[in-house]
A and B are shown apart, each in its own frame.
Chain A
Amino acid sequence: MAVTEQAPSAARRSARPARGSRKAWNPNKRRKSPMLTAVMTLGLIYSLLPLFWLIVNASKTQSNLFSTNGLWFGGHFALFENIKQTLTYSNGEFLHWFGNTLIYVVVGAGGATFLSTVGGYGLAKFDFPGKRGVLAVVLGAVAIPGTVLVVPTFLMFSKMGITNTYWSVIIPSLINPFGLYLMWIFARDAIPKELLEAARVDGAKEWRIFFSISLKLLRPGMITVLLFAVVATWNNYFLPLIMINKPSLYPLTVGLYQWNALSQTAGGTPIFNLVLTGSVLMIVPIMVVFLVMQRYWQSGLAAGSVKQ
C-alpha cells in the first residue's frame, strides 16, 4: 500500500509546476565535501567515458580506428565524412531505417498514448457496468513485462501471416497498461467533477467535452506517457528483431545491429566507423528529447515507469 500511495503522488507533484515545500530548510548552506565530490567524480567518469570514447572514435577513419590511441582524437578528423558516408551507405539504408523508426515511433507511441489517455479518462470519470472487472484485468496486466509477450506475439503473427509488415511492430506497441494506469490516476485528480457537470448541464456531448475541455487538463500526464512510449519504441529491439527480416522494414536498432554483425563476419565488409557514427546519430535525438523534457521524465520515473 505504501508503494501505491507514494508513487502516483510523486508523479502528480512533479508533473505540475508547483513544487514541494522543501525550501523551508535550506540545503545550500551546507558545507561542501571534496571527498564526496571526488568519489562521485569516479561515477561521472564511469558514466561518461564510454560515450566520450564513442564520439572520439566516430571521428576516425576505418583505418585510423586501429592505428591510433582510442581515447583521443587521432589522425584525420573524419566525423563529417563518416556522417555523410553513414547516411549514404548502401543507397542510404540508414536514412531509410531512420524513416522506419519514425513510423514506428509516431504511429506506435502516438497510438499508445491516445488509447491510454482516452481509456484512463473513461476509467476515471465514468461509472459503467463491468468497470471493476476491466480495472482488475488491465491493472493485473501491468505486471506482465513486455518482453514476455514478444515470442508469443511473434508466433501468433506468424500464424496470421503478418510478420514482416509495419503492423507487426506497430500493433504490439499500441498497448501500454502502465500508461493507462498513469492516465487513470492523472485524470482522476486533474479534472474537477464540477467542470464536467457544468458542461453536461450546458448540453455538451461527452466526446466534445473530452476534446474541448478535458484534453487540455490531461496534457501534462499525456506528455509523460508519450515521452516514455517514444523512448520505448525508439529503443525497441527484441520485437522488430523477431518480427522483421526484410532490411527495408528494419528500424535503426536492428539495422545498426546488422551492420555490426556483417562487419564481424569473416568475408563481410568491415564498416566499424559507420557503426560507431550511426550509434552517435542514434543517441543524439533521444538525448535532446530527454534534456528538453526533463520535467516530464522525472515525474514518470517517480511513478516507477517503464524499464524496457
Chain B
Amino acid sequence: MTVLSAGSPPRTRGAELKPRRRRKWTGWGFIGPFLLVFLFDLVAPIVYAIYLSLFQDKLIGGNKFAGLANYTQALSDPQFWTGFERVVLFLIVQVPIMLLISLGAALAIDSARLHWTPLYRLSIFLPYAVPSVVGALMWGFLYGNQFGLVSDLDSWFHVTLPNVLQSGTWILPAIGNIVTWEFIGYNMLIFYSALQTIPGELYEAAELDNASSWRIIWHIKIPALRPAIAIATIFSIIGSFQLFTEPAVLYPIATNAIGSAFTPNYYAYNLSFNGQEYNYSATIAIVMGVITVVVAYVFQRISQRNQGA
C-alpha cells in the first residue's frame, strides 16, 4: 500500500538509464497489457462513479445534473454517519485489541521459551486460511441459541446468555470478535517475520550485557517491529473502514440488529443493489473511499515521522 510505495522509485533510476538507449519503446510492450486492464478496472470505474455522483435521478424530470447535491445529502445523512461512527468505534476498540494479542503471540513464538513453537505458530495462523464468509457463517452458528455454542453454554450452566445476534448493543462486539479471530494469525505472522530479520549479533550483545528478556523486548524487538506495526495498523484501518463481509453474511440471522446501513460499505451496497439508487450509492462509495485513503495516508506520514525517516 502507500507505505510500500513511498520511497522506492529513485533507487533504480540511475542504474537502469544508460545502457539501453536504443530499445526505447520495448518496455511498453511489457507494461502495456497491465496498464490497459488497469485503466479499465481502476480508473474507469472511479471516473464513472464520480460522474454518477454529480447527477440525480428524479421521478419528475429524469436524470439531471445536480452538482454537489448528493454530497451535501451524504454529509447530512444520519444513516451514513451512524455507520461511519460504528466503523470508527470498531477501529478504536477492535484494532488495538487484535494487534496487541498478535504482538504478544509473535513475541512469545519468537522468544524460544515456548514448548512446541511450530504447533502454536501454525494453529494460531490457521483461521486466516478460512474464507471470511465461512468464518462469519461459522461464528453466526456459534452465537446462535438454536444449536450453537451459546445454547450449549446456556444449558450447561443454566444461564441465559444474551443473544448477540438480536441485540443492537452486542452485534458490534460480536463482529469484532469474528474479525479478531480471523486476523490475529495474519498480524502475528507479519510481526514474526519482522522479528526474524533482527540480526543475531544484537542478541549476542544483549546476552553479554546480561539484559533481561523484558529489556531485550523493549530495546531491541519493539523498535525493530515499528515498521511492521505501522503496516499492520494501516491494513487494519482499511479493513475497519471497509467492513462488509461479516455484517453482510450475518444479516439473514441478525436482520434487525444489522439493518441496511450497518457500515458505509454495506449501505452503498444496499443502495445500489436493493435500492437502485445508483447516483447516491456512487457518492457514498466515493466519500468512504476518499476517507479511507486519506486516513491511511495521514497515519502513514505520522508513523514515518515518528520513526525519524
With A39-B108, A142-B4, A257-B133 as known contacts, state yes or no: A264 contacts B204, CB within 8 Å.
no
Would you call A148 and B242 a contact (CB within 8 A)? Answer: yes
Bound together, the chains give a CA A89 to CA B290 distance in angstroms of: 44
Asked if A28 and B112 make an inter-chain contact with CB atoms under 8 angstroms apart, the answer reads yes
Question: With A47-B123, A304-B231, A307-B186 known to touch, is A298 a contact of B141 (CB < 8 Å)?
Answer: no
Report whether A235 and B131 are in contact in the complex, using a CB–CB cutoff of 8 Å.
yes
* B157 on interface, CB distance cutoff 8 Å: no
Tally of contact residues, A, Cβ under 8 A = 128
| Interface presence of A199 (CB below 8 A) | no
Interface centre among A1, A3, A290 (most CB of B within 10 A): A3
- Contact (A126, B27) CB under 8 Å given A40-B105, A40-B108, A155-B282: yes
Contacting residues of chain B (116-175) with chain A, CB-CB under 8 angstroms:
116, 119-120, 123-124, 126-127, 129-134, 137-142, 146-149, 151-152
- Select B113's contact among A3, A33, A51, beta carbons within 8 Å: A33
In the complex, the answer to whether A129 meets B38 with C-beta atoms within 8 Å is no
Cβ-defined contact, B239 with A307, below 8 A: yes
**Neighbour of B142 across the interface among A50, A124, A302, CB < 8 A:** A50
Contact with B along A258-292 (1 / 0, CB 8 A): 00110011000000100110010011001100100
> Is the beta-carbon distance between A153 and B41 smaller than 8 angstroms?
yes
Residues of B within 8 A of A172 (CB): 41
* Chain B interface, number of residues (Cβ within 8 angstroms): 126
B95 CB within 8 Å of chain A: no
Contacting residues, chain A, for B304 (C-beta < 8 A):
1-3
Q: Distance (Å) between the CB of B154 and the closest chain A CB?
A: 11
A134 within 8 A of partner (CB): yes
* Cβ contact within 8 Å between A47 and B52: no
Interface mask (A10-31 → B, CB under 8 Å = 1, otherwise 0): 1001100000111111011011
> For the complex, would chain A's binding face be called helix, strand, loop or mixed by DSSP majority?
helix
Check B97 for interface membership: any CB of A closer than 8 A.
no
Q: How distant is the Cα of A302 from the Cα of B192 in the complex, in angstroms?
A: 9
Q: Which of B8-16, B72-80, B84-92 contacts A (4 or more CB under 8 A)?
A: B8-16
* C-alpha gap A172/B45 in the complex (Å): 10
**Interface presence of A43 (CB below 8 A):** yes
Q: Is A80 an interface residue (CB 8 A)?
A: no
Q: A128 is contacted by which of B7, B28, B282 (Cβ under 8 Å)?
A: B28
- The docked-state distance in angstroms from the alpha carbon of A121 to that of B26 is 12
Given A126-B20, A129-B24, the answer on whether A20 and B197 have CB atoms closer than 8 Å is yes
Counting CB contacts under 8 A, is A81 at the interface?
A: no
With A22-B196, A31-B113, A135-B9 as given contacts, are A147 and B242 in contact (CB-CB < 8 Å)? yes
Most A CB within 10 A of own CB, among B101, B131, B149, B185: B131
Question: Taking the nearest CB of chain B, how far is it from the CB of A94, in angstroms?
Answer: 14
A156–B44 CB distance below 8 A: yes
Give residues of chain A (108-148) contacting chain B, Cβ–Cβ below 8 Å.
Answer: 115-116, 118-119, 121-132, 134-136, 138-145, 147-148
A166 within 8 A of B: no
- The reply to whether A197 and B19 form a contact with Cβ atoms under 8 Å apart is yes
Chain A min CB distance to B124 (Å) = 5
CB distance from B303 to the nearest CB of A (A): 8
What is the CB-to-nearest-CB distance from A170 to chain B, in angstroms, rounded to a whole number?
11
Which residue of chain A lies nearest to B279 when distances are taken between CB atoms in the complex?
A155
Q: Which among A21, A151, A206 has the highest number of chain B CB atoms within 10 Å?
A: A151
Contacts of B297 in A (CB 8 A): 143
Q: Does A301 contact B (CB under 8 A)?
A: yes
Beta-carbon nearest neighbor of B180 in chain A: A46
Apart from A40-B105, A206-B23, A260-B253, what 4 extra A-B contacts exist at CB < 8 Å? A2-B226, A3-B6, A118-B31, A237-B249
Residues of A in contact with B (beta carbons under 8 Å apart): 1-10, 13-14, 20-25, 27-28, 30-34, 36-37, 39-40, 43-44, 46-48, 50-51, 53-54, 57, 65-66, 69-71, 115-116, 118-119, 121-132, 134-136, 138-145, 147-156, 158-159, 171-172, 174-175, 177-178, 180-181, 185, 188, 193, 197, 206-207, 210, 231, 234-235, 237-238, 241-242, 253, 256-257, 260-261, 264-265, 272, 275-276, 279, 282-283, 286-287, 290, 298, 301-304, 307-308
7 residue pairs, one from A and one from B, having the closest CB atoms: A122-B30, A126-B27, A119-B34, A128-B27, A152-B49, A27-B112, A139-B5
